Chain A
Amino acid sequence: MSQTEFPLLTLITFFPLLGAVILLFVDKEKKETLRWITLVVTFLEFIFSLPLFFQFRLDTPAMQFVEKAPWIPEYGISYFMGIDGISLFLVLLTTFLTLVSVISCWQDIQDKVRGFMICTLFLETGMIGVFVALDLFLFYVFWEVMLIPMYLLIGVWGNPKRRIYAAVKFFIYTMVGSVLMLVAILVLYFQNGAATGKYTFDLLELYKLQVPMNAQFWLFLAFGLAFAIKVPMFPFHTWLPDAHTEAPTVGSVLLAAVLLKMGTYGFLRFSIPLFPNASHQLIPLVSILAIIGIIYGALVCMVQKDLKRLIAFSSVSHLGFVMLGLFALNLQGIEGGILQMLNHGFSTGALFLLVGMIYERRHTRMIEDFGGLWKQMPIFAAFFMIVTLSSIGLPGLNGFVGEFLILVGTFKASATYAVVAATGVILAAAYMLWMYQRVMFGELTKPENKVLKDLSAREILVLCCVTVFIFWIGIYPHTFLSRMEPTVKNYLIQVQNKYQAGLQIQEREIRLAQAESVEIIKK
């Protein structure tokens, strides 16, 4: 572990919160001031997070930028933060997309601007905290804390008709999963204490614990439920369409781009390394649910009339790919999974931004209300095309690299899964292209559409920022993959070792039980 002199991660985590506190003192009527302050805060935040990228060491798989201080020492709770190849890009994704979202909502939010900015900044703190926390208690606190601002964002600034329903559903659904995870964390804590005499929530210590097989199974399910709801995996995905559709643009972007990644990150960081035997045993279950998610998500997308709902279900489909890749448990699968997490963040984030822009103009999201927009808004059409193709996975753009790696990894693990999942790619192309055709191509029939303005400079800036990454990851993914590789390789070795050790313990137990039963029969 490389200890750092300057507490960079603490700064990155809590700086947005500081910004939120500063905003409290600004008069809530001064909308422009509030927006500029928030912009400066998120911009600085992004700048602060850049050293993480540039100073990231490629020679070591261990945690970097580590900060550790005791918090509640009597219970082994410490303030333990650090990043590695897995979480590095998730943190950068968060800081970058929050900055982009703040620019994008300049005109969108006119009501209660101060509250909105405070919620966004508070949310940023929570999101980053989840990705950098290495102490289970600290992780849980950030996980829960992040619910409140998201709930407020959806419930206060969302679509008036169903926003409260969506917000409450989101909150309670996520919370039910989380509280079961809490019990699992406590069980793990006490098991570790009983086994080693050391009571701690330190994740790296808990990694070393060999949990007995039947306990592993239930603990994996408990953690897994919380993460499966977040991902979202079928059949725990029903909160997603409502939350995404009713949220304001910023809410949808951050929800899709960052919050959903917490579920997959959770599987990667907690479920698999803590419970490798249970993970191996449940690979079929997770993979099948992932594939159902891919196909079902795609099929449901085809019949959606609401643009935002369509994109929401496409998230279910895309993240099914990520889950499949992660549970292939090989280098390509996991790297593909992590990369696809980033890709989904950019592509779907961009899609929501685009839908937000068109909604600002027409105040409708129904596909039938559009048609033939490419003539009226050519720049918009161009960006939309790029992002659509990225979502589909066209070679040259980011989606292809991720999906390809995932399919290669899955094929190595199980050919059947890969073949079935590949059909999901075709379905993705189907629904996305059909949607694009209905919205952008064809005849410009509706009179309201004939007076639409094309993108403003600010909107072009927002979309350019994201498009740059779409091309960068697609053409030269090495920048990203190289930083993930040492961590993922080491990760796989650790998981494999722990799995083998677990198998040996299981075999020994079986042999002991057999010997005992022979003894009993003899008597």
Chain B
Amino acid sequence: MNIVTPVLNWSAIGPELILSLTAMGLLLINVLAKKGAKGAIPYLSLAGIVVALVLCISLWGKSEYAFNRMVVVDNYSLFFKIIFLITAALTVLMSIRFLQEEEFEYGEYYSLVLFAAVGMMFMASAADLIIIFLGLETFSLAIYVLAGFFRTQPKSNESSLKYFLLGAFSTGFLLYGIALIYGATGTTNLKGIYEFVRKIHLLTDPLLLIGMGLLIVGFGFKVAAVPFHMWTPDVYEGAPTSVTAFLAVGPKAAGFAAFLRVFLYALSSLQTDWVWILWVLAVLTMTLGNVVAIAQKNIKRMLAYSSIAHAGYILVAMVAASEWGTASVLYYILAYAFMNLGAFGVVILFGRKGEENINVSDYSGMASKYPLLAAAMAIFMFSLAGIPPTAGFVGKFYIFSAAVKAGYIGLAIIGVLNSALSVYFYLRVTVMMYMRNPEKEFAKLDLSPAMVIALIIAVLGTLQMGITPSRYLDLARQSILALM
């Protein structure tokens, strides 16, 4: 009997393989190693991430399919993979001391982070709707567990359960949408769908329409677009802060990676049908995110609503479509990763067992006690608000240029006004830090070198992308060429 083994292109999914193997290895080490050696687990996970990062960079410039045209390796997916790896690395760095302090130092945490990263990476290199679903489920499951990691805290349990229930429900929508599109087009492969849809001159097929709508719902949930955003504040608030940091960046980026590939490539011929939906979603998301953030007293909730608003800005870029729109999404997500992870890093550093410091007013007078930390937080806040010379400003500039270029001037105006609106709550943090007197005694900060390194990377990333954006804009533009 001849068993025909398919030719597997392992190098195409090299980074994912490395991460998976590292994660599984860490699980084993966690079980077998002595207590003392367990301290090495986070650093081993970092080593795995670095190797995967190196692999990604070495793959740059390639453009090929693998695994029966289900997985694609191109600059677009590599750009996103690098973002996921940076996110995972910064999350790991920020978690080390945090988990020790909270006495939840379990090695499984790091494996879960790596598995989540693997899932996200698959979502970015998916050339088939099934792989998108696969990646989505992989990282979602990992994050469901991570959100509930502090299992003795009721808020953490609530966060995990809410995310799980709503996530499973929305994945159902996504899957149903995929099924309907399969029914309409006969294939789940993105290229196949693209070829099929291109030939349609008038969209009358209800299967395709409803499938498209359901896909928007599914993706909308993952990126926390309004009105699919209800889970975000509670989940962000309840989960352990390091998980929140990961959650705020990773799934959003992964969701957008797939969202863009499906809508700006596979369904691009149907643009006139879905662009107005995204227009409405963008306006609702930006506005609701910014307006409700103003009312928040808890900093994690405030950052949750702010991340909803940022998803809105990225939706604006999707409405703009075209080269500029897509490249601006990529640039913005990279900038967003740095500034958001940095902001959450400061929140992690500043909060501690017994004295969580999770209200914005707890930051009063921070500048007089911890000037460097306050300066870093101020830089992240200014970047999130979109004030030069930070990455956030260049990102927003780029997005609104794309919108104006595509003719959506009204949307650009709404976008910039939202930006101005958001200044209020971002500035409020700096007001607390610099302009108010400390309300209570600050305990000494527990500065771990890992956290310091993470914050420095975030600050440097934010400032460098803002002052010399050329290189990153170029990378973003190279990455979308593969998609077009």
Contact = CB atoms under 8 A, between A and B. Distances in A.
Q: Do A and B bind each other?
A: yes
A171 B421 CA distance: 11
A186 interface: yes
A333 interface: no
Interface in A112-162: 112, 137, 140-141, 144-145, 147-148, 151-152, 155-156
A71 interface: yes
Contacts, number: 81
Contacts of B368: 112
Interface of A: 71-75, 112, 137, 140-141, 144-145, 147-148, 151-152, 155-156, 163-164, 167-168, 171-172, 175-176, 178-180, 182-183, 186-187, 189-190
B416 A148 contact: no
Contacts of A183: 400, 404, 409, 412-413, 416
B419 interface: yes
Interface of B: 368, 382, 387-389, 393, 397, 400-401, 404-405, 409, 412-413, 416-417, 419-420, 423-424, 427, 431, 434-436, 469-470, 473-474, 477
Nearest to B394: A72
B435 A155 contact: yes
Q: Lowest 4 A-B CB distances belong to which pairs? A: A179-B416, A186-B404, A141-B388, A155-B435
Contact of A148 (B387, B435, B473): B387
A162 to B, nearest CB: 12
Given A144-B393, A145-B389, A168 B417 contact: no
8 contacts: A72-B470, A73-B470, A144-B387, A155-B435, A172-B427, A176-B420, A182-B416, A190-B401
Contacts of B434: 152, 155-156
Contacts of B405: 186, 190
B373 to A, nearest CB: 15
Contacts of A151: 427
B416 A171 contact: no
Contacts of A179: 416-417, 419-420
A164 B429 CA distance: 12
Contacts of A152: 434
A176 B474 CA distance: 30
B435 A190 contact: no
A180 B431 contact: no
B283 to A, nearest CB: 15
Contacts of A168: 424, 427, 431
B389 A141 contact: yes
A73 B409 CA distance: 24
Contacts of A164: 431, 435-436
Contacts of B412: 183, 186
Contacts of A112: 368
Contacts of A145: 387-389
B416 A180 contact: yes
A145 B463 CA distance: 13
Contact of A171 (B397, B409, B427): B427
Contacts of A189: 401, 404
A148 B393 CA distance: 14
Nearest to A158: B435
Given A144-B387, A186-B401, A163 B435 contact: yes
Contacts of B474: 74
B423 A171 contact: yes
Contacts of B423: 171-172, 175
A167 B432 CA distance: 13
B470 to A, nearest CB: 5
B409 A187 contact: yes
Contacts of B404: 183, 186-187, 189-190
A163 to B, nearest CB: 7
A72 B393 CA distance: 15
Contacts of B470: 71-74
A74 B470 CA distance: 8
A405 to B, nearest CB: 36
A484 B470 CA distance: 37
B147 to A, nearest CB: 35
Contacts of A180: 413, 416-417
A155 B387 contact: no
Contacts of B435: 155-156, 163-164, 167
Nearest to B435: A155
B461 to A, nearest CB: 18
Contacts of A171: 423, 427
A450 B122 CA distance: 81
Contacts of B420: 172, 175-176, 178-179
A490 to B, nearest CB: 31
A73 B470 CA distance: 8
A182 B477 contact: no
A144 B382 CA distance: 11
A301 B37 CA distance: 75
Given A175-B420, A190-B405, 19 more contacts: A71-B470, A74-B470, A75-B401, A75-B473, A148-B382, A151-B427, A152-B434, A155-B434, A156-B434, A156-B435, A164-B435, A167-B435, A168-B431, A178-B420, A179-B419, A180-B417, A182-B400, A182-B416, A186-B400
A52 B405 CA distance: 39
A31 to B, nearest CB: 16
Contacts of B393: 141, 144
A447 B405 CA distance: 68
A152 B434 CA distance: 8
Contacts of A156: 434-435
Contacts of B388: 140-141, 144-145
A140 B423 CA distance: 17
Contacts of A71: 470
B3 to A, nearest CB: 52
A417 B401 CA distance: 40
A209 to B, nearest CB: 16
Given A179-B416, A182-B397, A183-B409, A147 B424 contact: no
A175 B418 CA distance: 11
Contacts of A172: 420, 423-424, 427
Nearest to A142: B388
A175 B427 CA distance: 12
B409 A74 contact: no
B214 to A, nearest CB: 34
A151 B400 CA distance: 26
A173 to B, nearest CB: 10
Nearest to A218: B409
Contacts of A167: 431, 435
Contacts of A137: 397
B478 to A, nearest CB: 11
Contacts of B397: 137, 182
Contacts of A175: 420, 423
A179 B368 CA distance: 32
Contacts of B469: 72
Contacts of A155: 431, 434-435
Chain B CB within 10 A, most for which of A145, A152, A175: A175
Contacts of B401: 75, 186, 189-190
Nearest to B403: A186
Nearest to A181: B416
Nearest to B437: A160
A182 B417 CA distance: 11
